[in-house]
Structure 1
Amino acid sequence: MPSTSTIKESYTDVLIIGAGPSGYMAALWLARCGIPTRIIDKRSNEIFTGQADGLQSRSLEIFKSFSEDCFDWATMDQAWKVANQMEEICFWSPDEEGELARKSRIPDSIPNISRFTESVIHQGKIEKWFTESIKNFSGGSIEVERPLLPVSIKIDENAKDQQDYAVEVLVRKLDDDLARPEQYGGIANGLYRAFDGDQDKFYNQNIDDADKKDFELIHAKYVLGADGAHSWVRKQLGIDMEGEQTDFVWGVVDIVPITDFPDVRSRCAIHSKDSGSVMIIPRENDMVRLYIQLKEVDRDVETAGDAREFMGNCDDPKAKTKGRIDRSKITPESIINQARESMKPYKLDYTNLTWYTAYQIGQRVSPNFHRHSRVFIAGDACHTHSPKAGQGMNVSMQDTYNLGFKLALVCKGLAKQDILQTYESERIKVARDLIAFDHKFSRLFSGKPMIPNAAMLEGEATGSNMDEFHSVFLHGSRFASGTISDYDNSSLINKVGGATREGHEEDGVFSPLASKVPLGRRLFSDWALGQIDHRPWHFADRLPSDGRFRVVIFPGDVKQYPENMEKLHSFNEPLMAPESFLNRYTPRNAFFNSVIECLVVHASLRNDVEFYGFPEFARRKDYRGRVDYWSIFAGVGKTHNTSTKVDIYSTYGIDKKAGAIMVVRPDGHVAQVSEYTGEGLKQVCDYFSGFMIDQREIAVPEKDVTSYDSDRFEKPRLAV
């Protein structure tokens, strides 16, 4: 390896290692916020088929938050438009005679938990939309650099300033042939990815013979390891994975089925009497994905001594003596043959095979997600589990959706570095809950089913209880949706004054001022009407992911209770003052709402009040005198075209006389709810003073009043 004094050096705010969904989501956030970023991947090829396919409700909400109406490219919400949207799941198991029969049909997603339902689209398309959005947000400056292999990493533990380039990563440019993982049988598959315990050896071969021109030393303020279950970054940080791995092996195929099975276009969980289990996932177009439990899998006995490396803490005490799974013996035909046995008496044939893989079920989570708040790991790098609950890609993206805006605030010098510690505390709880859910769900799925009234059938009295499996699925669906991730008290979440609500169907802490809004969770979206134009908006669409906090003032019915409008006007002076939280944390010359945006949602009929009857802070003008028309909403009323009833006050449990003030983080989670009073406004100020950095002495370049800036909606908005 050449001396670092002879190779190219470069600098960036954030270096992302790994261009899977988790890495892409981080890059998307940072591009949207205007943060200098690089994203590298050791693979020479992008994913165009296979891999993850399920999108849960929360992921689709997040995609929508990066997809504003004014964008004229293929934005992230294409996923909802193109994907197969699943409406129900069917459960099949043996009847009293041991014959396969449909037990029940239920909604695939919890009704009304989101405006989106679980959907399916292959990962390659999702990465394509990520690439397009990142390109447009960054003006083409951020794109995946391939194939680059990280070789070494060094953290300056003594770095004091959060803007120091405290991490050095040496990377090596690979030949395309070396960076292209081997395939088996000539059909696109994920076998190498699924069983790649020897990837390090594969990618690092001949490294000592590499030329110095192939190396680069990247200096970064922060580094993210989003490089998969066998994460190089995690290993360099000395962070273990804790948990266990079973001896259950499952195959996966993407096919167009030819079958007489009646529920082939519904999601299905099938437990056969003696031939294992199958999950059917109907995909886009006429494709279907099958997850099939493999009963017999050949082993490479020569690897038995290395079993600990790839088996982990396995349930099967004999597993470590069996040797590594011989992935070359796993073929599409062997997988589908097993599915045929499981689905009897129904027939199964296929055409248009596009991808296949196999994997072992295991549940592991890292005890730490960062080192020194400088290097972070996310996604499969810090938690692994089975894919049948549709969580892998979703939880991975939601990890970096949590981290991305925090990195942006710190890199911009808007917030203290301390907020980065909330990434681990918030996401490790989600990861552990996921592992617990997947542990139970996957074992019930993989177990042999119990036959009803088995006492009448000799030898069939044991097995997985299908009623229990059904119950676990129902209970887990709310968690699996991603919409109830609940973040505890921290510098970014204030649950003081909240309490658990008696008789509520889900756990959580609720403020009596907004009794249906769980503190620390994402804000549920409902309709509101634009005061200026009566346009109906899903309120979440007025809170796009662009790095800004929102302070939402709910002044109640300002027509019925005129004192509420008077109180709103009394807020004008403190909010317009230079020392207010709206101005203190916004650099000079930046747009007035580019760090904290203030919105007003009243409870009067829109026609009973006038736009210019509201105080100036809610309808401010920018440096050109352009009025902000989109910060005042009617939270009650009816839409003109559909007569849809609008009452967001009822949805959120806010009294129309008392009102409330809500702080919403850039990731849409409710940070704090305070009373609609001067004291409540002070509590909002106290919230931001805990972690934000005063910007009154900081200035961004003065704007040119003669420039044509219609592209300002697509460019980064944070502190500009």
Structure 2
Amino acid sequence: MTATEYDVVIVGGGPVGLLVAYQMARFGVSVCVLEKQDTRTQESFGRAIALFPRTLEQLDQLDLIQPMLQKGFACRDSVTYKDGIQQIPGRVWTFMENIKGTQFDFTLVLRQMYTEAILREKLESVGAVYYQSIECTSFEIDDAAPLDAYGVTSYFVDTQTQKPMTLRSKFIIGADGGRSFVRKHAGIPFDGDTSEDKWIRIDGLVETDMPINRAYGAIESKTHGNILWAPLDHGATRIGYAYTAEIAAKYPDGVTEEVAVKEAIESMKPFNVKFTEVHWWTLYTIGQRMARDFSTQERVFLCGDAAHTHSSGAAQGLNTGIHDAVNLGWKLASHIRGFTRPEVLKTYSAERKTAVEKLINYDKDISLLMTHKWPAWYDGDKNADPYLVLGKIFQEAASFNTGLGISYPENVINQTPSAELGVVPGTRSPDAVITVPGINHKTSVHQVARNVGKFWVIVFTGKVESTKSALKALQSYLETDKELYSHPALRWVTVSATPGCSPYEALGMQPFGDTYFDQTGEAHAAYGVHLAKGGVVILRPDGLIGSGCSLNGASVRQYLSKIMNL
């Protein structure tokens, strides 16, 4: 049997697998994604619901956000109730109310069913191959094959017809959930613990007399833990609570939908709740686990729940998986197309493990506190209210929760700027306002430097008269180093502090790529570029700061030559 060949085979067609596949195809890489379940019969609703600001920015830069905004619930408000009394601010979800520095100053609540449907439609639009009801049974790697060869042979079976399928690829990605076959078959340990604590989540249409009921809520209970009240898309609501040993003892025959509804109603007292429809419910055990490596043998990669699992306490699961997918997507595509050096792809595992380790340590604490228990490290008054500590932890982790503060350490991509610029490598780039020439329409750096799988070289001119000689020298350098200016993995853009009737006249020379005006100086200030000196800031394809330098072509090349095949 002749095996079909793809650059990348992705096992798992949930949102993370679909997003990686979409990026691969969008960035010019051949890809096949295979899903074990039949999407026509699997659970319709439920699962992940909350998409935080940094995740929304990433989806926007991949042209995915508009259909999600049409279906989702934009939540900017939170509320905490205890004993039927609305609490003062400063509790669990209050961080949603003070999100700054991004146009996505809210949490988008959209059930996974809709997210997956949108991603499948987008995947089809870019010509990627997608199968469902196909299960991976094995794969083998030819260690002797060059990395640009099809060194992975994977075997599948149609779960309905039992017909076998064989694929050959350069890489294989496991996005196949917490019980990942890819991870197990690759022999990657899944380190961590599973607790005795269990939680229930139940979605549906409800009627209630709770005064504020279309805000992200925390209802503090001593019997059902810190109860989640989440307004969902299409007018639905999610209630989540701890299924404690005391509650379980009431139901020796186990949990049914009837039990889940009954205890949800009980958990919300003194408020009255009535379910008019139940869409989905689940009972699951809390635990935190992480793959020892997110890649192995240079050809196998893990994303999402295949790489890490944790509670839904901070609603970070899908967000973290999407960050995995975006991080891996551009790096693997650039590697396959021969744009970047092998060292760049190797940063995927190291960078994402840095963020996930922080999440897991954080999740261990909040999952205990939400269950009305104290973490082992707590040495204060055990008679105190655990929810006060929980609220403090959430507030301290606000930038991490929104994703806007997630950063990576220095590495081959994240290099200290060689000039005095106010940017930190590995951090999110500021979303400063700039204007389009002529119409003076306001846009932003994020809208201009969109994720097209390329690095963005942003030339901040400063006040043109003071930087004109440096700009001319940069232009002369690029005229002799044409590869640097025209490389297919680079996009150049000019941000001028001097507006004009045309980019050419504003600069007195040909600009570097498209030009935008920083009429207020906001963009220069946000990126720490002195108006008298100008400077260059280089963004990674995922919108993070790569590095920066003065208006000097040799310095730009010095940074990029460590990353790209120049």
TM over 0.5: yes
**Are residues 1:396 and 2:321 paired?**
yes
Distance 1:120 1:108 in 2: 12
Hey, what does 1:387 align to over in structure 2? Answer: 312
Query: Does the 8 Å CA contact 1:361/1:386 hold for their aligned counterparts?
Result: yes
| Structure 2 Cα separation of the partners of residues 34 and 297 of structure 1 | 55
- Aligned counterparts, 1:45-444, within 5 A: 45=39, 48-67=44-63, 75-93=64-82, 99-105=83-89, 106-116=94-104, 117-136=106-125, 138=126, 140=127, 142-159=128-145, 161-175=146-160, 214-296=163-245, 329-444=254-369
The amino acid that maps onto 2:478 is: L
2:506 equivalent to 1:581: no
Is the contact made by 1:88 and 1:107 (CA closer than 8 Å) also made in structure 2? no
Instruction: State the Cα distance separating 1:566 from its structure 2 match.
Output: 3.1
Question: Quick check: 2:101–2:431 contact (8 Å CA) kept in 1?
Answer: no
1:675 to 544, 547, 550: 550
Q: Is 1:618 matched with 2:539? A: no
For 2:253 and 2:406, the matched residues in 1 are separated by 40
- After TM superposition, the structure 1 stretch with the greater mean CA deviation from structure 2, 13-22 or 646-655, is 646-655
SS in 1 for 2:3: strand
**1:633 match:** 516
Instruction: From the CA coordinates, give the structure whose radius of gyration is larger.
Output: 1
Match of 1:23 among 17, 25, 50: 17
Alignment-derived partner of residue 443 in structure 2 = 537
Q: CA separation in 2, counterparts of 1:384 and 1:174?
A: 26
Q: 1:86 to 1:553 in 2, by over 3 A?
A: same
SS at 1:479 equivalent: helix
User: What residue number does 1:605 align with?
Assistant: 499
Query: Matched residues in 1 for 2:347 and 2:252: separation?
Result: 40
- The alpha-carbon distance between structure 1 residues 351 and 296, as it changes in their structure 2 partners (threshold 3 A), is farther
Per-residue deviation, residues 54-102 of structure 1 (Å, max 9, x unmatched): 10111110111122xxxxxxx4332234311111222233xxxxx4432
Partner deviation per Cα, 1:273-314 (whole Å, 9 max, x = no partner): 334331101112321111121134899xxxxxxxxxxxxxxx
Distance in structure 1 (CA, Å) of the matches to 2:503 and 2:45: 54
Going from structure 1 to structure 2, the CA distance change for 1:599 and 1:615 (only over 3 Å counts) comes to same
Contact 1:162/1:410 (<8 A) preserved? no
Q: Is the 8 A contact 1:363 1:435 kept in 2?
A: yes
CA distance in 2 between counterparts of 1:565 and 1:580 reads: 23
1:565-623 CA-to-partner distances (Å, cap 9, x unmatched) read 2321222121132454223xx3xxxxxxx42111110112345975574533525xxxx
Q: Residues 558-569 of structure 1: matches in 2 within 5 Å?
A: 558=464, 562-569=465-472
Q: Provide the C-alpha distance between the structure 2 equivalents of 1:8 and 1:335, rounded to a whole number of angstroms.
A: 50
Task: Give CA-to-partner distance per residue, 1:332-382, whole Å, 9 cap, x none.
Answer: 321222222222221111112111111111111111111122110111011
* 1:675–1:270 Cα change, 3 Å: same
Contact in 2 for aligned 1:87/1:107 (Cα 8 Å): no
Residues 1:485 and 2:406 are matched in the alignment = yes
- Runs of 5+ in structure 2 lacking a partner? 375-380
The answer to whether structure 1 residue 651 and structure 2 residue 533 are counterparts is no
What is the one-letter code of the residue matched to 1:462? N
Counterpart code for 1:257:
V
Please tell me the residue identity of whatever aligns with 2:557.
C
Distance 2:484 2:86 in 1: 59
Q: Which digits, 9 at most, give the CA deviation of each residue in 1:95-131, with x for residues without a partner?
A: xxxx443222335254204221211011121112212
Q: Does 1:596 align with 2:490?
A: yes
Question: Does the Cα contact within 8 Å between 1:448 and 1:464 map onto a contact in 2?
Answer: no
Q: Is residue 2:456 matched to residue 1:550?
A: yes
Q: CA RMSD in A?
A: 2.4
Aligned to 1:688, which of 557, 560, 563? 560
Q: Once the two structures are superposed, what CA deviation does each residue of 1:489-524 show, in whole Å capped at 9, x if it has no partner?
A: 222111266xxxxxxxxxxxxx741x2x33211212
Supply the AA of the counterpart residue of 1:108.
M
The answer on whether the counterparts of 1:548 and 1:596 sit within 8 Å (CA) in structure 2 is yes
Distance change >3 Å, CA 294–CA 530, structure 1 → 2: same
The answer as to whether partners of 1:162 and 1:417 remain within 8 angstroms in 2 is no
Residue 328 of structure 1, CA deviation: 8.3
Report SS of the residue matched to 2:345.
Answer: helix
Residue 396 of structure 1 deviates from its aligned partner by 0.4
SS across alignment from 1:162: coil
Task: Identify if the C-alpha distance between structure 1 residues 472 and 607 changes in structure 2 by more than 3 Å, giving closer, same or farther.
Answer: same
Q: How does 1:692-711 map to 2 (within 5 A)?
A: 692-694=564-566
Q: Distance in 1 between matches of 2:532 and 2:382?
A: 61
**Residue identity opposite 2:266 in structure 1:** E
Number of the residue aligned with 2:27: 33
Letter of the structure 2 residue corresponding to residue 477 of structure 1? A
- Counterparts of 1:274 and 1:485 in 2: how far apart (Å)? 34
The answer to whether the 8 A contact 1:12-1:37 is kept is yes
Task: State which of 396, 401, 421 in structure 2 corresponds to 1:475.
Answer: 396
Counterpart contact for 2:95–2:394, Cα < 8 Å: no
Contact 1:574 1:580 in 2 (8 A): no
The one of 454, 474, 478 equivalent to 1:571 is 474
Over residues 428-477 of structure 1, what are the superposed CA-to-partner deviations in whole Å (9 max), with x where a residue is unaligned? 0011011011111111111169xxxxxxxxxx972643221110111122
Divergent runs of 4+, >6 A: none
Q: What is the one-letter code of the residue matched to 1:664? A: L
Task: Provide the C-alpha distance between the structure 1 equivalents of 2:253 and 2:73, rounded to a whole number of angstroms.
Answer: 32
TM-score, reference length from structure 2? 0.92
Work out the CA distance in 2 between the residues paired with 1:328 and 1:157: 51
SS in structure 2 opposite 1:618?
A: coil
